[in-house]
Amino acid sequence: MLPVVTAGLTHGIALVSMLFVDPGTPVLMPNPCWGNYAAIFGRVQGADLRAWRLLRAQRGPQGWLDIDALATALGRLSRPSLLVLNFPSNPLGYSPTPAEVDRLIDCISNTPVPLVVVCDDAYQGMSWEPEIYPHSLFHRLAALPADRVLAVKIDGATKELFYFGGRVGFLTCGAAGSAALVLEEKTRAAARASISSASATAQAVLAQALRDPDLPAQQNQVRGRLRDRYRILKRCMQDAGLVARPFNSGMFAVIDVPGDPETLRQALLADGIGVVSLSEIGALRLSYGSLASADIPPLVQSIARHLRGVLVEST
Ligand SMILES: Cc1ncc(COP(=O)(O)O)c(C=O)c1O
């Protein structure tokens, strides 16, 4: 199917929800995941939200990805369902290795029910370690039997081209022939019914950028800056004894905290540090995407100091 233009990735995900989710449709989301999935699939569409733990607490012999949790969640399904995948992940900043991808695809191919698998590729290309599987999982999923799995790719310029305000995204279904034509028609109809069409001006700017032979070099330059920040953050955290959940890509890191993360978030905010509290998993999410390299060491020291304070209080 040809990609259909959406008004950013959020709109693409909302279209997926319009097309494939009814009230009560099971939607399997990674835990933790981007908070907007619950709003789009759950609150707006009334889906039956279910979670599978994305990463193990300890690295297993096969890696960090908790494929057993996914297999268990899939095994509980008894009607056509939707599965959301998001690598590099928000909030964890994790991407799988090729071996983990093989096991993930194998697990999904054994689905007991027909499955729509959504690849939210918002942060595609932000891979900071050589062992990461470098492609979207969409192409592997689209090769699975069409009567069991329909792969849907959600991507766009927001983060892949750092065109944050542009609001240009794409929805692509892994289908061919008459199925592709029908899915394209329905997707275009759902876009028309929701926003009419994405901004022509933003699309024209993007089309011009895509024709620029210098674009890959510009993308690499920005990605290089992000990779530097990632490396500085990793080093500073190690020096400060600050332990994060496994992260190797994207622009986020998640730190488990004792006590209420929201209280800690407020305390950090009073120091001029903005983080997101993830109360449901007792953690803070740090974003290094727009953090100047020079600000990373004092930021990490400040978080470490606050965390030591919380630890002292709780003992
Ligand atoms: C995982 C994920 N998907 C989608 C989006 C939304 O992208 P957009 O701004 O293009 O709607 C975000 C933005 O934060 C995100 O983190």
Closest CA to 17 of 154, 137, 114: 154
Is pTM beyond 0.75? Reply is yes
List the one residue out of 308, 306, 295, 283 whose CA is nearest residue 233. 295
Predicted confidence at residue 308, as pLDDT, reads 86
Task: Report the CATH number at residue 298.
Answer: 3.90.1150.10
**Cβ of 120 less than 6 Å from ligand 1:** yes
Last residue of a domain, one of 180, 208, 236: 208
- Substitution candidate for ligand 1 out of 36, 126, 152 with most atoms within 8 A of CB: 36
Q: Mind listing the pLDDT tens digit for each residue in 14-26? A: 999 999 999 999 9
Phi, psi of 195 (to 5 degrees): -130, 5
Q: Is the CB of 169 under 6 A from ligand 1?
A: yes
**Tally of domains in the chain:** 2
User: Among residues 186, 208, 230, which one ends one of the domains?
Assistant: 208
Cβ 6 under 6 angstroms from ligand 1: no
Q: Provide the domain limits for residue 140.
A: 4-208
Regions of the chain with pLDDT less than 70: 311-315
Provide the β-strand partners of residue 27: 49, 82
Query: Could you tell me if the CB of 122 is within 6 A of ligand 1?
Result: yes
Query: Does 179 lie in the same domain as 221?
Result: no
Same domain, 57 and 198: yes
**Of 122, 128, 135, which Cα lies nearest the Cα of 226?**
128
Ligand 1, pocket-test mutation among 6, 9, 124, most atoms within 8 A of CB:
9
Task: Return the C-alpha torsion angle 304, 308, 310, 315, nearest 10.
Answer: 160
Last residue of a domain, one of 188, 208, 228: 208
186 and 281 housed in the same domain = no
Q: Are residues 120 and 201 in the same domain?
A: yes
- Structural contact between residues 172 and 183, judged by C-beta atoms closer than 8 angstroms: no
With a 6 Å cutoff on the Cβ, whether 86 touches ligand 1 is: yes
CATH code assigned at 196: 3.40.640.10
Q: Return d(Cα 11, Cα 16) in angstroms, integer.
A: 9
pLDDT tens figures, 183-212: 999 999 999 999 999 999 999 999 999 999
| Residues 77, 71 contacting (CB under 8 angstroms) | no
